[in-house]
Structure 1
Amino acid sequence: MSELRRYCMHAQVDPARLDEYRRRHAAVWPEMLEALAESGWHNYSLFLRPDGLLIAYVESEDLAAAQAAMAATEVNARWQAEMSDFFVGLDSTPDVGFQPIEEVFNLETQLAAVPARKEN
């Protein structure tokens, strides 16, 4: 496997539907979970603020390829159809409508670049 890259994105969930959004994600369909894993989604997490700001974090060799692989699955079409109504301000389905967020710091990356320190 090639090196995994980190991706972070955001979207806005309708604040009136937060409880239902949480319920849906507490028990994602097993076939959806399997499709995500098989399509190259790793360490995928969603974080939700009380005002509906949703932050998605995922690691993948190639996010565009992982998204395309998911788009080719029947289970993703069903899931996106059910989830679309939860979001505000998206021009497409949630799986591709998330807005990317630039990574500006990663502890492990910077630690790996620090020359070895001498122990006293």
Structure 2
Amino acid sequence: MTRVCFQLQVRPERLEEYLARHTPVWPRMLEEIEASGRRNYSLFVRPDGMLIGYYETDSVEASQAYLDRSAIAAEWEAEMAEFFVALDGRPDQVATTLPEVFNLADQLAAAH
């Protein structure tokens, strides 16, 4: 299993609308995320629009390839792109990935 954390910047003046669009996300998009192999998916956002996303998957490449082929994901990502600052492409394809520097379970397992 791979843990993935990513960062995007929501336009602060569009934050309320962005949040409304996620309450709830389209049911068919939820199904596509699940079918792509992503689990434990969460988004967190600061009042200034800094967004952090997290998910777990068995294969980042296979998950992204699935979503790249999905017409539903393409439609969703096209609608979401307008909410982000300085993007050159689909949000799910160009988000900044953050390296993991600490995981409690991994370190506890290594220590025992």
Query: Which category of TM-score, normalised to the shorter sequence, fits these structures?
Result: over 0.9
**Which structure 2 segments of 5+ residues have no match?**
none
**Which structure 1 segments of 5+ residues have no match?**
116-120
2:3 alignment counterpart: 6
CA shift digits 1:14-70 (9 cap, x unpaired):
000110111111110111000110111111111001111010101011112211101
The amino acid across from 1:6 in the alignment is R
CA shift digits 1:55-96 (9 cap, x unpaired):
010101111221110111111111011101000111111011
Aligned to 2:18, the other structure's residue is in SS state helix
1:69 alignment counterpart: 66
User: Where has structure 1 moved over 6 Å in runs of 4 or more?
Assistant: none
Task: Tell me how far apart the structure 2 counterparts of residues 102 and 16 of structure 1 sit (CA, whole Å).
Answer: 29
Larger Rg: 1
Cα-Cα RMSD: 0.8
Q: Structure 1 vs Structure 2: percent identity of aligned residues?
A: 50
TM-score by length of 1: 0.90
Tell me the number of residue pairs that the alignment of Structure 1 and Structure 2 aligns. 112
TM-score by length of 2: 0.96
